[in-house]
Amino acid sequence: MIASTSSHQRQVAVWLLIVAAMIFFIVVLGGTTRLTRSGLSIVEWRLFEGTLPPFTEAHWQELFELYKKTPEYQKINVGMDLAGFEKIFWLEYLHRLWGRLIFFVALVPLLWYLWRGRIEKRLIPRMVAVPLLVALNGVLGWLMVASGLIDLPRVSPYRLTAHLGLAVAIYAYILWMALNLFSGRDPVSVPPGLRRFAHAVTGLVFLAILSGGFVAGTKAGFAFNTFPLMNGRFFPEGMYAMQPFWVNLFENIATVQFNHRLLAYLLCLVIPLFWWKVKRAGLPPHVRRGAHLLLGWLVVQVLLGIATVVHVTPVSLGAAHQAGALALFSLALYSLHSLRVLRGA
């Protein structure tokens, strides 16, 4: 009976990991959609009809005529032909189709596991929340797109960051449950404060990702394309030129990029310190391995960030930087979880 239960737990954990991997991909796909200006190409949210792409010339023309009415076409892409529209359409279509697939992959196996009684009763509400959260972020994604179809040819940076932040939070929620199902408890004590430190590191990485959302939403990555200084200054000119003051934190291009860099600098301080504390604490190999990977990937992510800035945010580097950020967050979450399952943590 114990072996059967353990086998069922592994099946559920694998399902959760598949959903998490799909969310990882859509986060990167969403960033690519943003960088290629494809996100506003589909101006209607047809939940069921929109699952199928246009097959006829008449349907393509219908969708193109709708796009011509948007601020993005009228102010940026005026004169674009149907072939150009098709190029930006397909990436956004893939983004939306993948979101629908995530929902069904989150829902259908869940219903099967519930029917077969393979999920512990105490975990059922947590598992049921998975497809509901995915659906919620789909609604938020449409509200984000809708904000760019009214006056300005860009989506609200607040809604964009909310959409990104919720996707990352759902990813973390699912990954954490999967790790719980795979993990046992180790009879090893943890130094006081180390688990709190791991919480702080994970929270700081998440905050840096949210900051990156505002960088994308304000197109701050296309300005101040020098490193380590921002156009020759550590504190860039015009950082607090907007009123009221708080608006600078989210809409002022200079402030938004500076804050993103500042969070990167903080991570370059706290992650090596966290690695050192784990290394000297005499913890199990898998905990130390997680800290090693976290420190190593920090170096990769910083180099990706610098390359993205100095090359004026090309699509390839921008997408790689976003993927790297989520990978860094995953490693921070793994390190936190590996400490949480130690006895005495």
Where residue 155 falls among pLDDT bands split at 50, 70, 90? very high
**Nearest C-alpha neighbor of 169 from the set 345, 343, 329:** 329
Q: What's the mean pLDDT in 18-35?
A: 97
Where residue 5 falls among pLDDT bands split at 50, 70, 90? very low
Contact of 162 with 314, CB cutoff 8 Å: no
SS3 217: helix
* Stretch among 121-135, 140-154, 295-309 having the lowest mean pLDDT: 140-154
In the numeric block, which tokens belong to residue 45? Answer: 């949210």
Q: What's the mean pLDDT in 17-46?
A: 95
CA 65 to CA 68: how far, in whole Å?
A: 5
Element of type H or E holding 278: helix 253-279
Where residue 51 falls among pLDDT bands split at 50, 70, 90? confident
Question: 230-279: per-residue pLDDT in tens?
Answer: 999 999 999 999 999 999 999 999 999 999 999 999 999 999 999 999 99
pTM of the predicted protein model: 0.94
Say what the pLDDT of residue 282 is: 85
Distances (CA, A) of 112 to 106, 116, 313: 11, 6, 44
Say what the pLDDT of residue 344 is: 47
- If one compares 162 and 4, the residue with the highest pLDDT of the two is 162
Per-residue pLDDT at 3 exceeds 60: no
Q: What's the mean pLDDT in 72-85?
A: 94
Distances (CA, A) of 203 to 30, 142, 196, 327, 334: 22, 27, 10, 14, 13
Say what the pLDDT of residue 90 is: 96
Amino acid 292 reads: H
Taking residue 241's Cβ as centre, other Cβ atoms within 10 Å add up to 11
Per-residue pLDDT at 345 exceeds 90: no
Q: What's the mean pLDDT in 7-16?
A: 92
Per-residue pLDDT at 108 exceeds 80: yes
Say what the pLDDT of residue 192 is: 76
**Nearest C-alpha neighbor of 170 from the set 144, 133, 200:** 133
Q: What's the mean pLDDT in 3-14?
A: 77
Give phi and psi for 233, each to the nearest 5. Answer: -135, 145
Question: What percent of the chain is predicted at pLDDT more than 90?
Answer: 86
What value does the mean pLDDT of the chain take?
93
* Stretch among 94-103, 157-166, 176-185, 281-290 having the lowest mean pLDDT: 176-185
The alpha-carbon radius of gyration of the chain (Å, integer) is 22
Per-residue pLDDT at 4 exceeds 60: no
Say what the pLDDT of residue 152 is: 86
Per-residue pLDDT at 343 exceeds 70: no
Taking residue 27's Cβ as centre, other Cβ atoms within 10 Å add up to 21
**Nearest C-alpha neighbor of 113 from the set 130, 101, 90:** 130
Sequence spans of domains, the chain: 1-182, 185-345
